[in-house]
Amino acid sequence: MKNKLDRKNEIIKKSINIIHKKGYNGTSVKDITDAASIPKGSFYNYFNSKEDYAVEVMKFYFEEIKENSFSVFKEENVKPVERIKNFYKKSIEKQKEKEYKKGCLIGNLTEEMADVNIKIADIAEELHQEITNEIYKCLEEDLNINDEEKKQLACFIVNSWQGAMLRMKSSKNSKPLNAFYFQLDKILKNSEL
């Protein structure tokens, strides 16, 4: 028999595409329970509220990103700035697989809900900061710029990526991601001097 955490993750896994596609406000608890094939009342055995569900979905989604992509940040035989570029190359490939639709679930929920929901805003900021920290660690190893500039550059990279993802959704093509990557490469090369 599955434990509660396994069952909770199974519900998220079966329903995550609904909230990713329709957003927070466009997704009802019934949509979630239908996708997960559970009775509506069972939802509250695993989540205190739809808000709690959204927070857990964001954490689950981020764990998948970490499992699938964060290993590039640890590749010791690759220059640190190349690790950053490889992370985004991999991310662009993922978007290509999705035909440049849906974007980043965390970015989407941040855009939709961060102004009106503190729990969603807080977890989104925490997760964005975790990526920023990984990028900063790579910059710290490799670049000949001061510490504050490295912190600002790490923030700029993450912020620019989120903007490129937003533009990708509206254009439904890779142009914004390609422009981001071109500038990322250029900035990192210039910072190595």
CATH number for position 113: 1.10.357.10
| pLDDT given for residue 122 in this prediction | 97
Let me know if residue 37 belongs to a domain.
no
Let me know if residue 108 belongs to a domain.
yes
The whole domain housing 68 covers: 51-191
Let me know if residue 115 belongs to a domain.
yes
> For the chain, what is the domain count?
1
| pLDDT given for residue 143 in this prediction | 74
pLDDT in tens, 150-181: 999 999 999 999 999 999 999 999 999 999 99
| Helix (H/G/I), strand (E/B), else coil: 96 | helix
Structure tokens at 49: 């509220």
Let me know if residue 127 belongs to a domain.
yes
Rounded CA-CA distance 60/69 in Å is: 14
Let me know if residue 3 belongs to a domain.
no
pLDDT in tens, the chain (193 residues): 578 889 999 999 999 999 999 999 999 999 999 999 999 999 999 999 999 999 999 999 999 999 999 999 999 999 999 999 999 999 999 999 999 999 999 999 999 999 999 999 999 999 999 999 999 999 998 777 889 999 999 999 999 999 999 999 999 999 999 999 999 999 998 876 4
Let me know if residue 24 belongs to a domain.
no
| pLDDT given for residue 1 in this prediction | 52
Let me know if residue 167 belongs to a domain.
yes
Contact 168, 103 (CB under 8 A): yes
Kindly state the greatest CA–CA separation across the chain: 60
Rounded CA-CA distance 54/37 in Å is: 18
Let me know if residue 13 belongs to a domain.
no
